[in-house]
Amino acid sequence: VVAIVTLAPLVLAEYIKNTPGCDFDYTKISEEDLNKQEDLLKLIEKDIQSVGRASKLAGFELPRAVYLAKEWNPESDLVTPTMKLKRPQLKKHYAEVIDNLYKIAAERAAARAAGGSSSSSSSSSSSSSSSK
């Protein structure tokens, strides 16, 4: 499982504030650059997994790689005016990101199976563009 996550601006600001080495204005950073913030991504991923475990999700149901998307709005054509997801548009818009997230998840699984660290770089998820 992989996840594309969008956070409310105040929640994202709080994560940035609580992440050592992250000192930037999220409103002035591109989505690609946001996903180069490895410590921020690791913190968000860790929190998602903690909530999943507390909710009794099975291990295979927990995201193994996360991409942080900027806030979606109807103007982006990724959600409706009532903020319902437009799944076909999201799938098309993030196709390259999704492929890359699965590669990262596979690399991490291989590293775990080999007894290595499961914290391989998340920043490779930012190598894909997110043009609108």
Per residue in 27-65, pLDDT (tens digit) is 899 999 999 999 999 999 999 999 999 999 999 999 999
Examine residue 65 and state whether it is found in any structural domain, yes or no: yes
Asked if residue 132 belongs to a domain, the reply is no
Closest among 107, 110, 90 to 98, alpha carbons compared: 90
> By mean pLDDT, which of 32-41, 58-67, 101-110, 120-129 is the weakest?
120-129
- In this structure, is residue 32 part of a structural domain? yes
Q: What is the mean pLDDT of residues 92-107?
A: 97
The tally of domains found in the chain comes to 1
> Average of pLDDT values for 113-124?
59
Residue 68 lies in a domain: yes
Q: Identify the domain containing residue 101 by its residue range.
A: 2-127
The pLDDT-based confidence of 121 (bands split at 50, 70, 90) is very low
Q: Tens of pLDDT along 57-79?
A: 999 999 999 999 998 999 999 99
85 bridge partner residues: 79
Q: What is the Cα–Cα distance from 14 to 86, expressed in whole angstroms?
A: 28
Helices (H), the chain: 9-17, 31-34, 38-54, 87-93, 95-113
Residue 83 lies in a domain: yes
Q: What's this model's pTM, rounded to 2 decimal places?
A: 0.81
Q: Which two tokens stand for residue 106?
A: 């596979």
